[in-house]
């Protein structure tokens, strides 16, 4: 998929293999060489839709920060210990609820071309901590597969992590570009997961994103290639027909995917930093998600009232466990006090993280 109108190349990465590979694939796109990517923010700041404009520009530069970052979970919530591999920032997909709209000051898609240096740093971290189990993924600051056309990184990452005994690597996506994964020797240690919503929500809130059935078909293909398959219902969005529609999604999952191949399904209801509401109202004037009753919760984010969230979670767990009670379901960005209202026990910090490893998936 090529959605770029211009590529900005930091002169510091001109000799990187990734830079050459991407420019070859985007040979018809204008290229501008720059000394400092920070200068680009002023180029779109004056536009009426700088976020939308940023999605049409690719910046290739060098990572100068840590290779692995801790998931920015809100204080007071139970964390799954997800660790972010930071190679790409921002996402070419355009979902109304996306928190990245207010998270980065730079609206462009940013690719760090010094991938080999980043992975060498990761290798050192894993080797220095052989008794620690790392859950690592690229799906927090971007979509893990949406850029696979011009930026084919997935195969390189799968090959790297397939040999790491103390790492569980997850590619999290709404896209369907899985061809590059199907012939790889992943040693059964890689999980490909999809963020899902009913088609009615996709049509209203996920602009230009693959339909539900296409995502599930991609998941089925990855299952046939031996990958473990995860699913993330996050955000679950409340609307009058939510029960009928979300149950339909659960039904479709288990029509195509063997529950024995699903290490986890996560659940998280819509949550919005207050500053995101005016952004959604301006960029997605037809969206109704900001008009449901929401109150400040953990981290200051706006959330549905607890009784609404509990009802939604309990229904989702009931439908999932109706197919297989052993499928591991956990809540994303919720506090300990909510868990026993949904499940039968109050988990300890990190317990769901280690439960995944204890099930001998890997």
Q: What are the structural domain ranges in the chain?
A: 64-105+114-358
**Of 163, 157, 159, 131, the residue nearest 144 (C-alpha):** 157
64-105+114-358, CATH topology level: pyruvate-formate lyase- activating enzyme (3.80.30)
CA triple 183-146-331, angle to 5 deg: 95
65: phi then psi, degrees, rounded to nearest 5: -105, -165
The pLDDT, as a whole number, for residue 208 is 86
CB 319 within 8 A of CB 267: no
The pLDDT, as a whole number, for residue 354 is 45
Q: Which residue has the tokens 């195509």?
A: 256
The pLDDT, as a whole number, for residue 105 is 75
Strand partners of residue 267: 233, 331
pLDDT at 50 over 60: yes
- The residue count for the chain: 362
Pairing relationship of beta strands 134-137 and 167-173 according to DSSP bridges: parallel
pLDDT at 183 over 50: yes
**Of 159, 43, 38, 158, the residue nearest 105 (C-alpha):** 38
pLDDT at 218 over 70: yes
CA triple 230-235-240, angle to 5 deg: 120
Torsional sign, CA 30, 34, 37, 40: negative
The pLDDT, as a whole number, for residue 2 is 58
Q: Given pLDDT bands bounded at 50, 70 and 90, which one contains residue 72?
A: low
Q: Which residue has the tokens 């379901």?
A: 329
The pLDDT, as a whole number, for residue 40 is 86
Residue-wise pLDDT for 95-139, tens only, equals: 999 999 877 778 899 999 999 999 999 999 999 999 998 999 998
Average pLDDT, the chain: 90
The pLDDT, as a whole number, for residue 269 is 97
pTM reported for the whole predicted model: 0.93
The residue ranking higher by pLDDT, 195 or 350, is: 195
């Amino acid at each position: 998929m090529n959605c770029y109108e211009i590529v900005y190349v930091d002169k510091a990465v001109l000799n990187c293999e990734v830079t050459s590979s991407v420019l070859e694939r985007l040979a018809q796109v204008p290229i501008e060489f720059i000394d400092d990517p920070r200068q680009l923010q002023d180029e779109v700041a004056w536009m009426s839709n700088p976020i939308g404009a940023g999605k049409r520009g690719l910046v290739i530069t060098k990572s100068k920060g840590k290779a692995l970052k801790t998931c920015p979970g809100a204080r007071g919530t139970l964390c799954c210990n997800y660790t972010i591999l930071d190679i790409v920032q921002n996402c070419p997909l355009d979902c109304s609820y996306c928190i990245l709209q207010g998270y980065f000051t730079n609206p462009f898609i940013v690719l760090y071309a010094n991938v080999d240096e980043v992975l060498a740093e990761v290798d050192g971290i894993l080797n220095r901590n052989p008794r620690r189990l790392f859950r690592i993924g690229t799906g927090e600051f971007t979509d893990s597969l949406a850029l696979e056309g011009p930026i084919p990184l997935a195969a390189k990452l799968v090959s790297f992590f397939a040999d790491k005994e103390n790492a569980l690597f997850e590619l999290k996506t709404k896209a369907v570009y899985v061809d590059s994964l199907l012939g790889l020797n992943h040693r059964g240690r890689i999980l490909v997961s999809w963020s899902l919503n009913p088609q009615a929500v996709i049509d209203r809130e996920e602009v230009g994103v693959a339909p539900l059935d296409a995502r599930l078909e991609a998941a089925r293909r990855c299952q046939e290639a031996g990958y473990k398959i995860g699913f993330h219902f996050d955000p679950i969005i409340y609307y009058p027909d939510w029960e009928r529609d979300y149950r339909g999604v659960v039904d479709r999952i288990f029509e195509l995917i063997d529950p024995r191949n699903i290490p986890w399904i996560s659940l998280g209801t819509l949550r919005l930093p207050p500053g995101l509401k005016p952004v959604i109202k301006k960029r997605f004037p037809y969206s109704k998600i900001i008009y449901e009753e929401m109150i400040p919760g953990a981290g200051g984010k706006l959330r549905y009232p607890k009784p609404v969230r509990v009802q939604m979670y309990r229904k989702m767990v009931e439908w999932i466990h109706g197919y297989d009670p052993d499928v591991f379901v956990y809540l994303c960005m919720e506090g300990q006090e909510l868990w026993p209202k949904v499940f039968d026990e109050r988990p300890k910090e990190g317990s769901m993280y280690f439960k995944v490893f204890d099930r001998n998936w890997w």
